[in-house]
Amino acid sequence: MDWFIKLFTATDSVAHIAMLYAMVIACGVLLGKIKFGKVALGVTFVLFAGILAGHLGLTAPLDILTFLQDFGLILFVFMIGLQVGPGFFESFRKGGVTLNLLASGAVLLNIIVMFACYYCFFDTSNPNNLPMMVGTLCGAVTNTPGLGAANEALNSVFSNGQQPQIASGYACAYPLGVIGIIGATILIRYICKVKLDHEEKLLEEESADNAHVKPHQMHLKVTNSYLAGRTLLQIHDFLNRDFVCSRILHDGHVSIPNRNTVFELGDQIFIVCAEADAEAIIAFIGPEIEVDWEKQDQPMVSKRILVTRPSINGKTLGQMHFSSVYGVNVTRITRQGIDLFASPNLALQVGDKIMVVGPEDLVNRVSDVLGNSIKRLNAPNIATIFIGIIAGIIFGSLPFTIPGMPVPLKLGIAGGPLIIAILIGRYGYKVHLVTYTTTSANLMLREIGLVLFLASVGIKAGAGFWDTVVQGDGLKYVGTGFLITIIPILIIGTIARLKYKFNYFTIMGMIAGTYTDPPALAYANQSCSKEAPAVGYSTVYPLSMFLRILTAQIIILLCCGM
């Protein structure tokens, strides 16, 4: 039996370390699925399992714990950045600017409330209290990457290895943080006297008003004598509206029109345009008709083709010359589940789905050029991930000297990889980096990094957790964390509703995204049959995640390094 006992006592053995992490992660993930009401803590329960293991004396060498903690954090934040990168800059368009400003205001208010609680309820002469409050802040806003960034900043401030285990403050504030986000969101509903049925109706009306973003397909007959002898380009320029003509039937022959195709009276054409433009196009070209293209002498096919060939990455539609060289037309592009207009200046990326229309043999030829191999996409681009991590670590290690700070500011192993990942996710194709990963691959790598980080932090904090919570200021961390959670939500949510007149479901999504809290988004989605919560969430999530990580480090370096 000695061999079995050594698995739990020989802390220096690889078998013990692997066994410890496996037990902590497995127990944490399974327990995290238990719902309290309608809310589950999810993978974050790994932190509590690690704390329990550390409290029971199950631990590992400090350097091993630190390495796995830091490597897990790097992997976690990098995969987040890679995911949000493509939509990071686009999230500032239209109403997204206001939503992101409100989200930034909530982040700032979280910090203000944290400092107010610190000066009101804690002994400011104790150098450990402020770092613990930063941990409480991260737990109150349910932001684990922020905890990692703060931990990493503490390592540079407390170089003697005596840094506070701020995960205790995080663990105290997190459970009520999850509940408080949902509770405060519900409270806004009553403060602003919101009626859910009315909000749903407004979303339906807004959807009807947004006809300019809905694709519309129609068959038309050319009856306007002005168009006789005019090219497709001349007609397009005269109308000044975006549309794609993917097929034309002229004298009994079906062909793929290009910009130089000449229209004649009686031609039958297939048009794809925005729903709002359909009426004007019909009025100018001619009436809608029914056409059975399959019965023509040159039948056409429509096919979604997947871009999987790395050499296509970054090339624009105009550079590909689909119409003139391949004899097909591209009607739309689908990227990350979003339909994009097939503009000549749109740069293609691996993972894009392209709707191609043309003769079957020519469409198949384009399919070979673009790749169209799902199997190829299933293999993650490991090289891109680790090249990005190398660049992120180097960038995060660059010192920025700021007057008044005792040590230079560094983005560190959390901020550096995050920023580089966002940039690679958005612009990687310009340096021939294939950044596409399947959703499942991204989630797998992200979750592995997260559980390694949480398990390491929990095990390290476990030894002193009981003294901190029961004999120390644990109840204060719980109470102040709850205030940090709800006060900014009530203020920002009310402003978003009363001043900016945002739909309540959009506000619910914005709050969930600002606090990077999936359970709150799940609750919002259950309350609404439309996509408004998801839109609000995705609009503010990238910037909020970036600010949470960056501000956690700045607070530690500015306030704890002095």
Mean predicted confidence (pLDDT) in 121-150 = 85
Mean predicted confidence (pLDDT) in 106-122 = 94
Q: Find, among 53, 58, 82, 80, the residue nearest to 167 by Cα.
A: 53
Question: Is the model's pLDDT at 337 over the cut of 70?
Answer: no
Pick the most confident of 138-152, 364-378, 479-493.
Answer: 479-493
Mean predicted confidence (pLDDT) in 294-323 = 73
Residue spans of beta strands (DSSP E) within 241-398: 243-250, 253-255, 268-274, 300-306, 329-335, 338-341, 353-359
Task: Report pLDDT digits (tens) over 416-453.
Answer: 887 888 888 777 777 777 777 777 777 788 889 888 98
Pick the most confident of 296-300, 480-484, 535-539.
Answer: 480-484
Helix residue ranges per DSSP H, 346-503: 360-370, 374-378, 382-397, 412-427, 439-466, 474-498
| CB-CB neighbours of 241 under 10 Å | 14
- Residue 208 three-state SS: helix
Instruction: Judge whether 474 and 414 are in contact, CB under 8 Å.
Output: no
Residue 112: predicted pLDDT: 96
Task: Report pLDDT digits (tens) over 340-384.
Answer: 667 777 778 777 888 888 777 778 878 888 887 776 666 667 888
More confident residue, 291 or 296: 291
- Residue 335 three-state SS: strand
Question: Is the model's pLDDT at 163 over the cut of 90?
Answer: no
pTM exceeds cut of 0.85: no
| CB-CB neighbours of 344 under 10 Å | 12
**DSSP character at residue 38:** T
Alpha-carbon distance 165 to 474, whole Å? 13
Q: Which residues of 71-109 are buried (b: 16+ CB within 10 A; e: fewer)?
A: bbbbbbbbbbbbbbbbbbeebeeeebebbbebbbbbbeb
More confident residue, 243 or 485: 485
Question: Is the model's pLDDT at 56 over the cut of 80?
Answer: yes
Residue 15: predicted pLDDT: 83
Mean predicted confidence (pLDDT) in 121-129 = 83
Share the mean pLDDT of the chain: 79
Residue 214: predicted pLDDT: 58
Task: Report pLDDT digits (tens) over 257-277.
Answer: 777 888 888 888 888 777 777
Task: Report pLDDT digits (tens) over 5-21.
Answer: 767 666 777 888 888 89
CA-angle at 40, arms to 35 and 41, nearest 5°: 140
Q: Which residue type occupies 227?
A: L
| Stretch among 49-63, 98-112, 190-204, 410-424 having the lowest mean pLDDT | 410-424
| Stretch among 66-70, 416-420, 521-525 having the lowest mean pLDDT | 521-525
Handedness of CA 174, 179, 182, 184 (dihedral sign): negative
Residue 95: predicted pLDDT: 59
Residue 191: predicted pLDDT: 92
Residue 211: predicted pLDDT: 46
Q: Which residue type occupies 415?
A: G
Distance of CA 337 to the CA centre of its chain: 13
Q: How confident is the model at residue 90 (pLDDT cuts 50, 70, 90)?
A: low
